[in-house]
Amino acid sequence: MKHSILNAVMGSLLGFSTLGGLAFVSAAPNPTTPSKSEGGWQLLEPVTYENISLFPVVTSFNQDTSPFITLDEGLSSGDVIVSEQGSAGLARTRDGRPIPTPQTAGGASVNQLVLINRSKRPLLLLAGELVSGGKQDRIIGKDRIVPVGAPPLPLDVFCVEHGRWTGSNSQFVASKTIVHPSVREKAAVDQAQTEVWSAVRSGTTAAKPASAPPPRMSMDNITSAISSEAHTEAYEKIYDSRAIGVPIDSFVEELQKRFAKAVAGPNGERRMPVVGVIVAYGGEVAWSDIFASSDLFNRYWNKLLRSYAVEALARPTLREVASRDGAQDFLHRLKGREVQESEPGVYRWLEITEGKLTQIELDALQPKPMTLHRLMLHRTS
């Protein structure tokens, strides 16, 4: 659940509180602050296919994000460990020294895991990233950074797999998957387990326009796929073309090919670094992911693209193309209610809500201040 929001007065900061070592602040924006494009970002022409449009975001200002490790990289190398609570023999440093781990009277918990960052780099986590294993698959609940040498972290997560609560190995592995936007919205913004699972089952939480052509991936497709094995309903089956009965792989391949061509220069060389993308379905600009560097964007791009494709296949097959002005609006900072969360010296998390739009920023405070990831979405509910 979301943390309580402090009362705010326009243009000033009213309150401050702490919870679990994190500082929480809520404030109303300064109404005199002009709307502007952040980070010197520019849009290229949209990449369109079927009912999806991707607007590449480029910039001449490319930050150095090499000091950070991603969840997939950390799990694959063994530098990051994610495990069920209360599991034995989990916490050891790279040289074998034991690490005290959080224990709970009830043992494993659906909505909390234990994470240990044993690497020599800060760990970046994005809401919606999926980890496989344990007693059931989970997704990360919120963007955050886990610093080097941090004690074992009680990690807030959401379940995306029903029916299974067993497993011989309590640890999790990299899935190289991030859930599609309708599910990711429910984790990142709504922070509610029931809403997360409802979005998994329905495929998309976006409203269906009257007389719109049906989606290629229906709720029946999804229900059949995730329930195809006894006693479990697993989210990852949605990404399996054979299980879902929809050519997801070919859809992604075509999008990837068109995107690569669009961001290349005249001789096949990129003009400016691509640091993000704005996503539209039909004529609706719905989502954006923008990073501090092209390197960081590329590390997430494959799994982000697949998630956008799944959302497209779950939405009505409207062949409209969103306007460039509508996409450009996603580069401007919102002016609505603000909520902040921070870990001193490590990161700051900011959420701004204005009408149906929500903007979420994750700022690293070390080794130098920068906005590592910026999410903007048009909420579906």
Position 95 scores a pLDDT of: 54
Distance CA 285, CA 334 (A): 15
The C-alpha atoms of residue 191 and residue 206 are separated, in whole angstroms, by 18
Per residue of the chain (381 residues), give pLDDT as tens. 444 333 333 333 333 344 444 554 444 444 333 334 566 899 999 999 999 999 999 998 899 999 999 999 999 999 999 999 876 544 555 555 555 555 544 556 778 999 999 999 999 999 999 998 888 889 999 999 999 999 999 999 998 876 665 655 678 998 899 999 999 999 999 998 999 988 988 889 888 877 778 888 888 888 888 776 555 668 888 888 888 888 899 999 999 999 999 998 777 666 789 999 999 999 999 999 999 999 999 999 999 999 999 999 999 888 888 999 999 999 999 999 999 999 999 999 999 999 999 999 999 999 999 999 999 999 988
Task: Return the structure tokens found at 141.
Answer: 């609940």
- Cβ contacts of 261 within 8 Å, gap of 6 or more: none
Which SS3 state, helix, strand or coil, does residue 185 take?
helix
Distance separating alpha carbons of residues 203 and 269, to the nearest angstrom: 37
Looking up tokens 């001193």, which residue turns up? 344
In the prediction, which pLDDT does 259 show? 96
pLDDT given at position 10? 32
- At 320 the pLDDT is 86
| pLDDT of 232 | 64
Rounded distance between C-alpha atoms, residue 225 and residue 233, angstroms: 8
Distance between CA 176 and CA 76 in Å, rounded?
A: 10
Query: Which letter does DSSP use for residue 331 in this model?
Result: G
The candidate with the shortest Cα–Cα distance to 312, out of 68, 119, 49, is 49
For residues 301 and 307, the answer to whether their CB atoms sit within 8 Å is: no
Whole-angstrom Cα distance, residue 248 to residue 238? 9
Q: Which of 254, 377, 283 is nearest to 51 (CA)?
A: 283
Give the pLDDT confidence score for residue 5 in this predicted structure: 36
Name the β-bridge partners of 234.
Answer: 161
Rounded to an integer, what distance in angstroms lies between the CA atom of residue 238 and that of residue 177? 11
